[in-house]
Structure formats: C-alpha cells, structure tokens
Structure 1
Amino acid sequence: AVDEKIKLQEANKLGVKISQKEIDDGVKNFAKSNGISLEQFKNMLKQAQVDEKVFKEQMKAEMAWARLVRMKAAQNLKVSRNEIKRVMDSITRDTKKQKFMVSEIVIAKKDAKHIDELVRNLREDPRFELYAMQFSQSPTAKNGGHLGWVSSEQLIDKLSNALKNMKDGEISNPIAVGTDYYILKLEKKYTPGVDKMPEPKEDEIRQMLENKKLEEIANKYLRDLRNKAIIERKA
C-alpha cells in the first residue's frame, strides 16, 4: 500500500529501525491477544489468503510508524487530571444514551472490488481484527479496527441506524459513506435502563486520551507526508 511505503520511507530516513525479533514478537503477541497459538494464526493467514511475509511487512511498517509518531509527539502526550475528570464526568452523564462497542473496516470504493467476498469471510471467520489489520484503510486498522464505545451522536446516521438494528457479534453489509465503504462489527450494545455500563477506570481513560492525541498527530503527519510525495512526483 502507498501509505505503508510512505511510513517506512520516513522511518528509515529518520533512523527508526525495527528488528526481526520485534516483528516476530509482535506477531506472537497479536496471536496471543486473539487467544490462539502462533501455528493457528499462521493457518488463519493461509485460510484468509494472506501472505505471511506481507503481513509481517505491514506489521513492521506500523511498528516503525508508531515508534516514529511517539518520538515526534513526546512533548504533547501529557494528559492532565482535568482532561481525565472531564471524560469521567461525560461517561457518567452518557449512561442515559444508547451506546455501541464497535469495530470497523473502511475501504475506499475504488478498492472495493471484492468487498462482498470480504463480508462473507468475516461472517464465517471470528477473527475480525486480522482482516481489519490487513484490509482496512482507517487509522483504527493498527488496533484491529476497534473503535471502543461510541454513542449514536458520535456517528453519522447511516452507521448509527445500521448498528441499532444489529445484534451483538453481527457483521454489517457494506455501508456507503462518501468515497468509502464501512463494514461494522457490533461487539456489544448498551441500552439505558436495561444494561449496566462498566465503571470508567482512570488508567484506561488516560490511555484512551493518549491514544487519541497520538492518532491526531499521526494523521496530520501522514497527510503532510502524502502531500509532500504528491508535490515531489509533480516536480
């Protein structure tokens, strides 16, 4: 992918290296986090027709990019007590709203030739995260497509309406939004007065806020690199 090449080129230019051991450990940890052995994971890649070398190259790009962004963002990642308190207060207020724990795969319409086949595979194979890392073009791909808890107000109507009619564990049909298709997986649904919302933990909120800041910095950084690459090609 173009973004993958841009990320690796920038990391190499700035001397950010990822060792083979780090890549191998990353694959092992990914398998472990999905509750399967390394051998089972390799079999899953084969079933999904994903080349192991390609997957490792993608992991290398994401690891190098994550390290590079963290280096660039080091001074801007501090999360204050006030920021944490605001989020905790907001979560407490939001217990009156319906919420969804969602994962996503986002694919540009121009790249969506095999999207129906992808949906069929997702419905037969429980490892949504693997497909998100491999195929999704959203920044959430590196987290296996995981969005976390979101309310209807945080989503556009098309996505929100689809989720309201889905059951836990269900995979949506492709949903056209602008120039992209979204495939959603509803992990869990929270309905006020029926379900109990988990109490927010301070460490989790701190991590969430750090991740959000990192993602904003990473997105801007990647946009700037893409624009630079376009200008250089035109020159």
Structure 2
Amino acid sequence: MQFAKRAGAVAAIALSALILQGAVGRVEAQTTIKVVVNGEPITSNEINQRAKLLGLFMRGQSAASIQRAAEEELIDDKLKILEAKRVGISISDREIDTAFAGFAQRLKITPAQMTQALAQQGVDASSFKTRLRTQMMWQQLVVGRFRSTINISDAEILDALDKKGDTKDKEKLVKREGTTNEYNLQQVILVVPAQGGNAEARLREAEALRAKANGCDGLQSLVRPLKEAVVKPLGKRTEDELPDVFRGVLADVPIGKLSKPQRTPLGIEMVAVCEKRQISGDFTIRSKVEDELRQKQGELMSRRYLNDLKRIAVINYRR
C-alpha cells in the first residue's frame, strides 16, 4: 500500500525549503507537560519541535495555528504508537536510519548534511526520526488491518482512466497488449558512510554475500552479521517500476540470487529475485491505476482507524 508516499513527498519538499533557508530557531530551555494521551505525556518541547518542522510547509499560517496543528499531530502520533505497541509492531533503529538516509538521498545530500539542515531550524534529527518511525509503524498497522478488504474491480480501473481522460491506456488495457516481467524483490543495502567509508571493502563484502546467497528466505540471516547492512522487502515490481540502477539487469538473474552490486549514494546496493513471472503488458497500466485507487481507499481507512482510536481515548489538555 502506498498511501504514506504523499506524506513523504511533503516532508521532502519541506526539507528542501529548510536547506535553502537558514534561520536558527531558539530551543526551549524548559519543558512542561501540555497534553496527556491515555497516560502518555506530550511536552511543550515536543510541540515546539514539531511546530518548527510543520512550519516549513504551512506557509502563510499564524504561529498559533502551526502550534495547534503540531499538538494535534502529536496526539495522533501517541495514539498510533500505543496501538502499534498493542498489536506488537516495532521499527528497528536500523530501519529508521535507512529511511532517514533515503530522504537525504532524494534531496541529493548526505544524512549528516540533512541533520545539520534540521539543526539550523532548531529541529533535532531525533525528532524527525521519531515522526518517521510513527509513520512507518502506522503504515504497517493499516496495511495489516485492511489489506484483504481493499479490492479494486476492472470497472473501477476503467472508470478511473475515463476520469483521467487516458483513452490510450484504456485501449491497451481492454486489448491486453504485450508482455512484461514482474519480480518479487528484496533489496540489500551495505551502507558506505560519507565520512571515512571504504566503498571497495564494502564492494568485496557484497560480492562475497552474492556468492553465498541462494534463496530469499535465508537472506536476512546472511546479512545480519554484517555491520551497517539492511535487507528491505521491495515487494512485487514490474520492469518499469524498478529503481533506475536495476532496470534492464534482472532478466538474467536466477530466482534466489542477487543482482550485480551497484554503487549508489547510500552505499552498495543489490536486489534479490525471489519470484519472477511474465505477465500481460496491460498489467503495468492496471497496477499503476490500482495503486492510486488503493492509496485513496487506504487514506480513507486510515482516517477511520484513527478516529476509532480517538473516540475511545482519554485525552487531557493542560493549559
């Protein structure tokens, strides 16, 4: 499910603005409890930190409006975190660091530069990472709860193409033209730090790992002993949905094996081909439209889920 992508895009735009600016915000010396959510406190410092971040893309709004928005978002976050704990969902520090580095990569800067840019606005990188962690946990929660209930029919897909005025793709979909490859993938990242990183040594580690890999089920255990390395499920991707560095290179990779290591801003990256199948070319069109419709339905279900949590929550404001 991709309903969290929009929040990621907004955050990236906000951080771009952050880098171009440079005003240094004053950090509060003291902090007080402002809200208690099901026994969990939200402090004035947390609200101020979130307000500085939200203020980057809430242009034209008053400081009071931004503070209220920050407070309400933190209340939502507390409910999401408590629900994730109840269900047993957690996100590791390694996953958060990888996601943080991914944001920096999209902005064409290093994680250290991103940390510095945040600090220039008076925002600690740990606050940004806490927000990331909450978003990632919530996405897992919503996906896990509603995956089986979201079904997109052919009629809905054709209707969506009609509304977009995309007659060409609609014709391809109806005629079922051509074929393409669909892969089920896992991504392996061996991080190379911007300062003092040894890319050649990491490349040798990647090649050794590639030689050992023989199936996706055991990939996590193979990568676990390596420092600063992570395995991420990419799920099912058609050829045109692959990351740029891997397009055109997976056709000859056997199932259960890793692709040739690629140097990227994050370090050394490979993908493991867990499954491969040939599908009709119209699937690419169908998949994109279906993802858009799933995102809309996912956002709706996410709001309903959060509203259900709010309805039974005990929220005490301290003014």
Output the TM-score relative to the length of structure 1.
Answer: 0.50
Report which of the two structures shows the higher radius of gyration computed on alpha carbons: 2
Structure with the bigger percentage of helix: 1
Output the TM-score relative to the length of structure 2.
Answer: 0.37
